Each structure stands twice: as structure tokens, then as C-alpha cells.
Structure 1
Amino acid sequence: MPRVGLTRAAVTSVALDLVDEGGAGGFDRLTLAAVAARAGVAVPSLYKHVASLDDLRRLVATASVEELTRVLAAATIGRSGPDALHSAADAMRDYAGRHPGRYASTQVAPDLSDDADADLASAAARTIAVLAAALRGFGLPEDSMIDAIRMLRSAVHGFVILELTGGFGLPEDLDRSYRLLIDGIVVGVAALAEAG
């Protein structure tokens, strides 16, 4: 019999808190033992709610992607062009700073050939749709949209990971460097639109 109050959603919630407490590497260090200890149960009790560590990691990634998508949608609604791109980038950076472990889990690409990844794939598709809507103001041709999204994600992700892991040691203003990076992505996406 499952512990009263312990559900699949509750187990996921415990795991979400644990990965954030672990910082940028928290998702990689997630274990069933840690979740069980936090939930006050033995590890075998978790198997009533999750099939495996992979299953739990998938649940954490899906919940995090869904949360990030809501954050991105709220940040970009009613915006277009460079303003929307800056807002999306800022939302990703802010989310990563507030939820470093969850953010790390959003970087797990679903296996589109694996039915177990169907929920994660669906959540990721919604994220792409929100980012595509935010970038539409650039007039990008459809066949360049994924390129633009990858440019944005790669730039923000690289900066965020260096920021979260202490990779920027010089005293110069970090926010200024970040703004210059995103301004460069705006120029790159605009050029991609013109070339299309």
C-alpha cells in the first residue's frame, strides 16, 4: 500500500526540489535514495509511483520543461522582434538562476522514437512553439525558424552554464556582457531573416 499522501506527483515534486538544491549538477546527481529519504520512505516504496530512476528523471524533465514554457509564454506575450527575443532570453536566464537543477533537466532532448518520452516530446514541442511565436516578428522563413531557436538557446545556455558554475571570474559587469551577447543574437537572427 502506498504511503498516505505519496503520489506520483508528490514524488516528482520532491525530486524537483532536490535537483534545484543540488545546483547546476543537481539533475545529474538525482537518485531514488535521495528522493526516498526526503519523502520519508524506503526506496522500494517509490516503485509504487515511479518505474525507475529514468522514469523519475523523465518526470522531472517534463515538469521543468512545462514550467519553463509557461515562464517563456508569460515573458513574450504581446512582444515581437528584438523585444520578444530579449524577453525570452531573459526569462531563460532568470529561470536557470532560480531553478538551476530544473533548468539542467530542460536540456534533455526527448527520444522521439521512444513512447516513454511522449510527454516530454509534447512538452518540448510546446516550448518550441512559444519560442517560434516570439521570433515570428523577425519575418523568418519557416525553414530557418529552428536555426534561430537553436542560436538563441545555445547562446543563452552557454552563458547561463558559465554563470551558474562560476566560469566568469573577471570583475567586469556580467550583465553588460550578457546584454551584448543577446544583442548579437538579435543581429544574427535578423540576418538569418534577410538571407531567407
Structure 2
Amino acid sequence: MARAGLTAERLTLAGAELADEVGFDQVTVSALARRFDVTVASLYSHVRNSQDLRTRIALLALDEMAALAADAVAGRAGRDALTALANVYRDYAREHPGRYAAAQLRLAPETAAASAGGRHAQLTRAILRGYDLTEPDQTHAVRLLGSVFHGYVSLELGGGFEHSAPDTAQTWEWIMDALDALLRSRPAPPAAA
């Protein structure tokens, strides 16, 4: 029998904490059952399987990051908004490496459509309004920013910059300057004849 007080939400949060401690790849229903000192079978009334648990953790991480990003970019524009958004992802990854990894989980289309993943794209498009980009450049820019943010954070978390100068904070600022300059210099598309 499941220990009183166990819910899908409590298990999801405990799974997210476990992911931050041992890595997202190590999160399973069995590992969570050990954490609560219950049988694996007792958790199946709350989560279907390890994939369901991992999906729940991914959705939690996406929601947390979207809330942080919305707060960070509110009232900002241009480079200031760009840097605020980028810093949310970088800081979240440093503070919650397992959850950040979970946020990269490929979700089923119906799950993705109902998740906060769309909020991330909307927030990115909102900051891009300050750069006066039209389609398809705005979509290209959303993809560019996501790739740069995730790529840098992944390399940094993996220790890829540990033994080199300059300091990673300086490189991060350089990247923000470069992205801002690129987005500002993008020529407007030719007017339709």
C-alpha cells in the first residue's frame, strides 16, 4: 500500500529533486520508490511508469522556466530582454541540472502542445519584437537563440570550458553582444512589388 500523502505532484517534485542530485537519466520509478521507502507497485497508482514520471518532470521544468522567464523579461526590450531570457536558462541549468536536462526531453505531440514549451517560443518572439524581425526571420531567430543558449549551457555544464581563458562569464556577455548585434543588423526583407 502506498504511504499516505503520496500524490503524482509530490512524486514529480521528488523525481525532479532526484534528477538534480543524480542526473535525469538515473530517474526511475524504482529509484523514487527507494527514496520514499515504498514498493515500486505502490507508486503505480500515481505514475504509470518511468517514462510517465520523466514526462511529468519535463513538464514541471518547462513550467518553472517559463514562469522565471516571463518575470525576467517583463518590461524589458532589446539586448536587456535578450540577456534576461538567456540568463534564466543558464541560471536554471546551473541550479537544476537534472530538471534542465528533463526540459530537453522529446515530448509526444499532444503533450508538447499542452505544455509550457509553447510559452518559451512566445517569450522569445516577444523579445524579438524589439528587433523588428518579420517572418521567416523571426522563426530563424527563435531557433538560433534556442540553439545558442542550449549549446553553450550544455557545454558549460559538461565542463567544456573549465580549463580555458577567458572566464565563461566574459564569453557569455560576448555572446549576448554578438547576438544583439546580429539581430539588430538583419536587413528588412525587400518590399513586395
Identify whether the pair has TM-score above 0.5, normalized to the shorter chain.
Answer: yes
Could you tell me how far apart the structure 2 residues matched to 1:65 and 1:146 are? 20
User: Which of 1 and 2 has greater Rg?
Assistant: 2
Q: Partners of 2:125 and 2:75 in 1: how far apart? A: 14
- Of 136, 146, 166, the residue aligned with 2:139 is 146
2:155 equivalent in structure 1: 162
State the shift of 1:20 in Å. 0.7
1:151–1:185 contact (8 Å) kept in structure 2: no
In structure 1, the residue matched to 2:6 is 6
Deviation larger for 92-101 or 140-149: 140-149
Q: Which moved more, 1:125-134 or 1:54-63?
A: 125-134
Partner Cα distance (1:138, 1:29) in 2: 41
1:68–1:92 CA contact under 8 A, matched in 2? yes
After TM superposition, the structure 1 = structure 2 runs for residues 1-196 of structure 1, keeping only pairs within 5 Å, are 1-22=1-22, 26-112=23-109, 115=110, 117-118=111-112, 121-168=114-161, 169-192=163-186, 194-196=187-189
Deviation of 1:64 (Å): 0.3
> 1:108: Cα distance to partner?
2.1
CA contact (8 A) 1:110 1:121 kept: no
Displacement of 1:173: 1.4
Q: Distance in 1 between matches of 2:159 and 2:91?
A: 16
Distance in structure 2 (CA, Å) of the matches to 1:167 and 1:108: 22
| Offset at residue 143 of structure 1 (A) | 2.8
CA distance in 2, matches of 1:34, 1:129: 35
Mapped contact 2:79–2:176 kept (Cα < 8 A): no
Identical counterparts, % of pairs:
40
1:189 Cα deviation after fit:
2.2
CA distance in 2, matches of 1:36, 1:189: 48
The offset of 1:49, in angstroms, is 0.3
List runs of 5+ in structure 2 lacking aligned partners: none
Residues 2 and 38 of structure 2 are in contact (CA less than 8 Å); yes or no, is this contact kept in structure 1? no
CA contact (8 A) 1:7 1:49 kept: yes
Cα RMSD for the two superposed structures: 1.6
Local SS of the residue matching 1:2: coil
In 2: Cα distance, 1:39 partner to 1:135 partner: 45
1:124-177 residue CA offsets vs partner (Å, 9 max, x unmatched): 111211221122111111432221111111111111111111111214211111
- Describe the SS at the equivalent of 1:166: coil
CA distance in 2, matches of 1:139, 1:110: 31
